[in-house]
Structure 1
Amino acid sequence: MIGIRESRPEDGGRVVEIWRNAVDATHDFLLSEDRLAIDEMVCGFLPQAALLLAVDASDYPLAFMLIDNGHMQALFVDPACRGTGIGAALVRHGLGLHPRMTTDVNEQNAQAIGFYEKLGFTRTGRSPFDDQGRPYPLIHLEYQAGLSAPAAKA
């Protein structure tokens, strides 16, 4: 059984581990120097960030989501749990809090774009650079109410 809860200070190390494992599994387009710079930045803020965690029956974090003012800044799932519905469950939980949620996805991450589009997000634009000005284009997405999202797998 999967639960969703807010993060606590003691979750910081596990959250960084999930982030690193997920990025290594899905972001092979990053240059190594960019990956290291992003890692340093993430380690500086992620452990203290207010996150929503998907946890197993033992309260062990398997995935996390960061939402800021209705914009999903991050959704990362432990690669061992990909395809189990955990990410979709977190997104649906977030949509319950922010029905017009937006997010940005690296254009090179086609699987993530497909994931969000399946959940009812539509493309609203594109930026040629990421938020730090690096040459990783972003696709801007917004949830469109009325488009069906798959049922929860928990």
Structure 2
Amino acid sequence: MSPSDPVSLRPFAPGDLDQIEALWVAGWQATMPDIDFTQRLPWFREHMASLMRDDYAVTCAVDAADHVVGFTAVSESQGHLAQIAVHPDQWGSDAADLLIVAAKERAGQLTLDVNQENPRAVRFYEKHGFRRLRADVNSASGRPTWWYGWP
């Protein structure tokens, strides 16, 4: 699939988890190649299960064949975007734009944290109207993060 192929959004279905895991690994591996994200899959699986138990809504971006190319996990009640990921093959497509617009519409206001070492993501959030709130540190990795808010 190329970034110019049409993408649509739909709610998460239980059969999507393997595709979500694969695109999460691919996206993070491309972003931070010094970390082996396949070793972090057990954490990610538990993290996603925890988010879904906590009423986070998972939305999938899918291609015409219904293959998952991106996803978000958003809490309406907390106004928090816990996850957004798009497969690197789809970077430059409208998948991420569709996902972030839908997340903003779902929650009305959002906070999120992003690795400071991820300038592509920082530019993306700022392009979509998020404002930097404060610096922080990821408790799991020890890497510096930024907290952002919208509106």
Specify if TM > 0.5: yes
Please point out which of 24, 35, 55 is paired with 1:19: 24
Alignment-mate amino acid for residue 143 of structure 2: Y
**Aligned-pair distance for 1:51?**
1.3
**TM-score, scaled relative to structure 1:** 0.82
Q: In 2, distance between residues paired with 1:54 and 1:111?
A: 19
Name the SS of the counterpart of 1:51 in structure 2: strand
Q: In 2, distance between residues paired with 1:138 and 1:45?
A: 18
| CA deviation vs aligned residue, 1:111-152 (integer Å, no higher than 9, x gap) | 10011001100100111x2143x32111000112xxxxxxxx
Contact 1:15 1:47 in 2 (8 A): no
User: Percent identity, aligned pairs only?
Assistant: 24
Verify: 1:115 aligned to 2:124, yes or no. yes
List aligned pairs for 1:44-63, cutoff 5 A.
Answer: 44-46=46-48, 49=52, 50-63=57-70
**Aligned-pair distance for 1:44?**
3.1
The 3 A distance-change label for structure 1 pair 47 and 83 is: farther
Alignment: residue pair count: 139
Q: In 1, distance between residues paired with 2:86 and 2:60?
A: 10
2:43 corresponding residue in structure 1? 41
Q: In 1, distance between residues paired with 2:45 and 2:74?
A: 18
Q: In 2, distance between residues paired with 1:124 and 1:136?
A: 17
Please point out which of 52, 61, 71 is paired with 2:80: 71
Name the SS of the counterpart of 2:83 in structure 1: strand
Please point out which of 10, 28, 40 is paired with 2:15: 10
Aligned Cα root-mean-square deviation (Å) = 1.9
1:150 corresponding residue in structure 2? none
Which 5+ residue runs of structure 2 have no aligned equivalent?
A: 1-5
Which 5+ residue runs of structure 1 have no aligned equivalent?
A: 145-154
2:110 corresponding residue in structure 1? 101
Q: In 1, distance between residues paired with 2:44 and 2:119?
A: 23
